[in-house]
Chain A
Amino acid sequence: MIGVVPAVLLGLVIACALATAVLRDVLAAIIAFAAYSLGIAMIWVLLQAPDVGLTEAAVGAGVTTVLFLLTIAKTVRPPGDDIFESLDPTGLLVAVLIVGVLASTLGALPPVGSAETPVAQSQVTDYYLNNAYEQTHVKNAVTAVLAAYRGFDTMGEAVVVFAAGVGLLVVLGREVFA
C-alpha cells in the first residue's frame, strides 16, 4: 500500500511531466522538467535508493538542466504567443495505446514493496547482501557492486561518457583547441 507522502510526490511528478508536455515555450518546459527531476529524486530517497537520488538530483536536475539552458541560449525559443501546445491526435493515439497495453499487464506484476517479489527473492540479491562486506570491505552494497562486482560495466560507462565528450566536440567543430 502506498503512503500519503509517496502518493503526493508521485502525483506531483506526473503533473510536472504533463506540464512539460503541454507548455509550448521551451524555457517553461525546461523549468517544469527540472522540477520533475527534483521530485523523482525525492521518490528515489523514499524507495530507499539514496545513491540514485543523489545522482538524479546532481545529474538529472543539475547537469541536464544546465545543458538544456545552454542549448536554448545558443538557439531560439519557438515563436508565437501561445502558452500551450496544440493537441496532436497521432501522438495522443500512440501514447494512449502504449499506456493501455502496459496497463493491461498491471495485474501480473507483484505488488510494490512485497517481500515475495522476484527481485527480493533472487539469489543474486542475497549473494550481494551477504558477501559484499566480507569480500570488498565496502559498507555500501551499491558502491561494492558498482565498483567491484560490476567494475567492467562501470568502465564501459566511463567509455560511453568519453565517447559522448569526443562526439560532442566533433559535432560542434571544436576538436582543435587554439
Chain B
Amino acid sequence: MIDVLAAGPVDLLATRSYYAGTFLLLGIGAYVVIASPNLVKKVIGMNIFQTGIFLFFIASAYVEGAQSPIVGPKAVGPFVSPLPHVLILTAIVVGVSLTAVALGLIVRIYNEYGTLEADVLQEVRTDD
C-alpha cells in the first residue's frame, strides 16, 4: 500500500487502467439505467453495466506475456487463468437471455400502453 501511494496517481492509472475502465463503464451503465426515460435505453444501460463487470474479470485473469490457455502436450506456458473466461462465457449467454426477455416485456408494454417513456407510462397507469 505504501509503495502504491509513493507511485502516485498517474502510475496507478497506467498499471490498472482496465480496472479504471471497469469503474467508468459501471458508472455510465448506472447513469443510463437511472437517467434515460426510454425503456429500450435502460436495457442498453444494463448491458453496459454488465460488460463493465466482464472487463473486471477478464483483466484479473490476464498475465503479461502469458498465452491464451491452449494447453496440449507440447505447449509451453505461462498461460492466463481459464476460470474467469469460463465464468464470463456463461455470463454473456445469460445476459443475452435476460436482454431478450426484457425486450419482449417492452414490446408487450408498448402494445398495451402505446408508449416506451417511463414518465408517460407512470401517468397512464395512474389514470387507469
Interface residues of A (CB under 8 A from B): 1-2, 6-7, 10, 13-14, 17-18, 20-21, 26, 29-30, 33, 36-37, 40, 43-44, 47-52, 55-56, 59-60, 63-64, 67-68, 70-72, 74-76, 78, 85, 87-88, 90-92, 94-96, 98-99, 102-103, 106-109, 111-115, 117, 119-120, 122, 124-125, 128-129, 132-133, 139-142, 144-146, 150, 153-154, 157, 160-161, 163-165, 167-168, 171-173
Partner among A90, A112, A164, A167 whose Cβ is within 8 Å of the Cβ of B35 = A90
A59 to B64, CA, bound (A): 27
CB closest chain-B residue, reference A171: B104
Q: Are A74 and B78 in contact (CB under 8 A)?
A: no
Q: Is the interface of A mostly helix, strand, loop or mixed?
A: helix
Q: Is the interface of B mostly helix, strand, loop or mixed?
A: helix
Q: How many residues of B contact A (CB 8 A)?
A: 87
Partner among B16, B48, B81, B98 whose Cβ is within 8 Å of the Cβ of A122 = B81
Q: Are A150 and B86 in contact (CB under 8 A)?
A: yes
A85 to B80, CA, bound (A): 41
Q: Are B17 and A124 in contact (CB under 8 A)?
A: no
